[in-house]
Structure 1
Amino acid sequence: MTALADLQAPTLDDLEILARDAYARLPEEFRRLCEGVVIRVEDFPDDETQREMGCETPFDLLGLFRGIGLAQGGAMMQTGQFPNMVWLYRRPILDYWAENEESLGHLVTHVLVHEIGHHFGLSDDDMEAIEAAVS
């Protein structure tokens, strides 16, 4: 039997390692924007998040940023405020990955950069430049 027969889908821990590696390779000025951000990997968004984001299926959302970005005055943490968080959703990411021609590491980096970048008001061109810097 070939080695392919023994392959298993990346786990939550595997995606978390990819996300931490991607974050560590981001340009320093970008990481400063999101100092203290918590990155969480879950299989799917919870039901409340799916409703809030208007998802038709649990596979519609690859990631999500929750928090207060610099553009919204979030430079200083307020008492009782949750930390800025990025969720990466493993199963939708793996589904997308299986249907497209890009590496899993690149896809995780893309989702991470875009979730953080959109929340901080960066343009698509800015985010593409950040992604290119880590490729």
Structure 2
Amino acid sequence: MTSRNLDWTNIAAPSIEDFDLIARDAFAELPEEFRRLCEGVIIRVEDFPDEETLKDMDCETEFDLLGLFRGRGLAQGASTLQTGQFPNMVWLYRRPILDFWADQEDTLGAIITHVLVHEIGHHFGLSDADMEAIEESMR
């Protein structure tokens, strides 16, 4: 199909719901042993990080952060929730990811997968090399 045959007037940016679906698909494609270790990790999609997160992460703009892991990772010995402890969560930030995607040759799905693996990797205390190996195993 050529661009002359595609009706560009009806194409919209992926919604939060679209991102959630892409993230769920990306998670489902991760290696089984990696997914099994993620039990209890909640994945949320928001347009932007909140002001407190931007301040905590020392961000200059709301576009500086693509994703974030919050919680007590397995590397810190978190195997069960303790009273008053929030569940481990990964946030994916839609607008910063879309902005990043606009400057890349990768697909949106590949970028969401990369951010997801990177943030979940923090949960496990994985190195960058470990996370790259996981992504490479999916190609």
Which TM-score tier does this pair reach, normalised by the shorter chain? over 0.9
Alignment of 1:119-134 (within 5 A): 119-134=123-138
The equivalent of 1:86 in structure 2 is 90
Q: What is the TM-score of this pair, normalised by structure 1?
A: 0.94
The equivalent of 1:68 in structure 2 is 72
CA positional deviation for 1:80: 2.3
Contact 2:72 2:88 in 1 (8 A): yes
The equivalent of 2:81 in structure 1 is 77
Moved over 4 A (4+): none
Q: What is the TM-score of this pair, normalised by structure 2?
A: 0.92
Matched residue of 2:90: which SS?
Answer: strand
In structure 2, runs of 5+ residues without a counterpart are none
Q: Show CA shifts across 1:79-105 (max 9, x none).
A: 221111000000000000011110000
Contact 1:42 1:87 in 2 (8 A): yes
Q: Does 1:103 align with 2:107?
A: yes
Larger Rg: 2
The whole-number CA distance in structure 1 between the counterparts of 2:12 and 2:51 is 27
CA positional deviation for 1:118: 2.5
In structure 1, runs of 5+ residues without a counterpart are none
The equivalent of 2:44 in structure 1 is 40
